Amino acid sequence: MAKNNHTNQMTGAEAMVRMLEAHGVKHIFGLCGDTTLPFYDALYRLEHKIDHILTRDERSASYMADGYSRVTNKVGVCEGPSGGGATYILPGVVEANESSSAVLAITSDVATTSIGHYPLTELDQAALFQPLTKWNTIIPRSEMVPDMVRRAFRSMTTGRPGAAHLGFPIDVQRGLTDANGIWADAAHKHYPAYPTGPDWHSVETAVSALLSAKNPIIICGGGVVIAGGEEALDQLATRLDIVVATTISGQGSLPDIHPNCLGVIGSNGGVTATREAVESADLAVFIGCRAGSVTTERWQYPRKGTRILHIDSDPNVLGASYDTELGLVGDARLTLEAMNAVLDTHGDFTSEIGGAEIVAALKAKKRMIFDPLATSDDSPIKPERLIAEIQKKMPPDSIVIADPGTPCPYVSAYLEQDTPGRRILSNRAHGALGYSMSAAMGAWIGRPDQKIISIMGDGSFGFTCGELETVTRKRMPITFIVVSNAVYGWIKAGQRSSFGERYYSVDFNRTDHAAVATAFGVKSWSVEDPAELGKVLKKAFAYDGPTLVDVICQPLNEANAPVSEWIA
120 closest CA partner among 129, 111, 107, 131:
111
Residue 371's pLDDT band (cuts 50, 70, 90): very high
Alpha-carbon torsion, ordered 354, 298, 454, 332, to 10 deg: -50
**Helix, strand or coil, per DSSP, at residue 140:** coil
251 closest CA partner among 428, 478, 460:
428
Residue 548's pLDDT band (cuts 50, 70, 90): very high
Kindly tell me the burial class for residue 325, based on how many C-beta atoms sit within 10 Å of its own C-beta (0-12, 13-18, 19 or more): middle
Helix and strand numbers, DSSP H then E, in the chain: 23, 20
Cβ-contact 74, 68 below 8 angstroms: yes
What mean pLDDT comes out for the span 429-445? 96
What mean pLDDT comes out for the span 74-84? 97
Q: Looking at the predicted structure, is the pLDDT value of residue 193 above 90?
A: yes
Among the residue ranges 231-245, 345-359, 526-540, the one predicted with the least confidence is: 345-359
pLDDT per residue as tens digits for the range 276-299: 999 999 999 999 999 999 999 999
Q: Looking at the predicted structure, is the pLDDT value of residue 2 above 50?
A: no
Cβ-contact 294, 269 below 8 angstroms: no
For 521, the enclosing helix (H) or strand (E) is none
Q: What is the pLDDT of residue 353?
A: 87
pLDDT per residue as tens digits for the range 270-281: 999 999 999 999
Residue 350's pLDDT band (cuts 50, 70, 90): confident
What mean pLDDT comes out for the span 311-330? 96
Cβ-contact 527, 540 below 8 angstroms: no
Q: Looking at the predicted structure, is the pLDDT value of residue 7 above 70?
A: no
Helix ranges restricted to H, 447-502: 458-464, 468-473, 489-498
Q: Looking at the predicted structure, is the pLDDT value of residue 563 above 70?
A: yes
pLDDT per residue as tens digits for the range 169-181: 999 999 999 999 9
Question: What are the angstrom distances between the C-alpha of 211 and each of 220, 242, 276, 318?
Answer: 19, 10, 21, 21
Residue 565's pLDDT band (cuts 50, 70, 90): confident
DSSP per residue over 234-254, as a string? HHHHHHHT-EEEE-STTTTSS
Helix ranges restricted to H, 375-503: 383-393, 407-414, 435-446, 458-464, 468-473, 489-498
Give the type of residue at 141. R
For 374, the enclosing helix (H) or strand (E) is helix 355-374
Kindly tell me the burial class for residue 118, based on how many C-beta atoms sit within 10 Å of its own C-beta (0-12, 13-18, 19 or more): exposed
Q: Looking at the predicted structure, is the pLDDT value of residue 213 above 50?
A: yes
What mean pLDDT comes out for the span 97-113? 97
479 closest CA partner among 385, 404, 386:
386
The alpha carbon of residue 185 and the mean position of all alpha carbons in its chain are separated, in whole angstroms, by 26
Residue 5's pLDDT band (cuts 50, 70, 90): very low
Kindly tell me the burial class for residue 448, based on how many C-beta atoms sit within 10 Å of its own C-beta (0-12, 13-18, 19 or more): exposed
Return the bridge partners of 299, or none: none
Residues 6+ apart with CB under 8 A from 348: none
Integer distance in angstroms from the first to the last C-alpha of the chain?
64
pLDDT per residue as tens digits for the range 224-233: 999 999 999 9
Residue 1's pLDDT band (cuts 50, 70, 90): very low
Residue 568's pLDDT band (cuts 50, 70, 90): low
30 closest CA partner among 98, 117, 88:
88
Q: Looking at the predicted structure, is the pLDDT value of residue 324 above 90?
A: yes
Percentage of the chain exceeding pLDDT 90: 95
Question: What are the angstrom distances between the C-alpha of 289 and each of 81, 220, 454, 557?
Answer: 35, 6, 25, 30
Residues 6+ apart with CB under 8 A from 33: 80, 81, 82, 83, 85, 108
Edge-to-edge order in the sheet of strand 51-54 = 51-54, 27-30, 76-80, 103-109, 164-169, 135-138
Q: What CA–CA distance (Å, rounded) separates 516 from 496?
A: 31
Kindly tell me the burial class for residue 28, based on how many C-beta atoms sit within 10 Å of its own C-beta (0-12, 13-18, 19 or more): buried
Residues 6+ apart with CB under 8 A from 214: 282, 353
Q: Looking at the predicted structure, is the pLDDT value of residue 499 above 90?
A: yes
What mean pLDDT comes out for the span 560-567? 88
Q: Beta strand 479-484 with 424-426: parallel, antiparallel or unpaired?
A: unpaired
Q: What CA–CA distance (Å, rounded) separates 550 from 168?
A: 41
Question: What are the angstrom distances between the C-alpha of 10 and each of 21, 108, 265?
Answer: 15, 18, 53
What mean pLDDT comes out for the span 171-192? 98
Give the type of residue at 447. R
Q: What is the pLDDT of residue 346?
A: 87
Q: What CA–CA distance (Å, rounded) separates 263 from 244?
A: 8
3-state SS of 49-75?
Answer: CCEEEECCCHHHHHHHHHHHHHHHCEC
pLDDT per residue as tens digits for the range 26-51: 999 999 999 999 999 999 999 999 99
Residues 6+ apart with CB under 8 A from 49: 21, 26
Sketch out the chain's domains with CATH numbers: 9-189 (3.40.50.970), 200-358 (3.40.50.1220), 375-567 (3.40.50.970)
pTM of the model: 0.96
Cβ-contact 388, 415 below 8 angstroms: no
Q: What CA–CA distance (Å, rounded) separates 119 from 65?
A: 30
Cβ-contact 475, 545 below 8 angstroms: yes
CA atoms within 13 A on the CB side of 298: 3
What mean pLDDT comes out for the span 450-479? 97
Per-chain mean pLDDT for the chain: 95
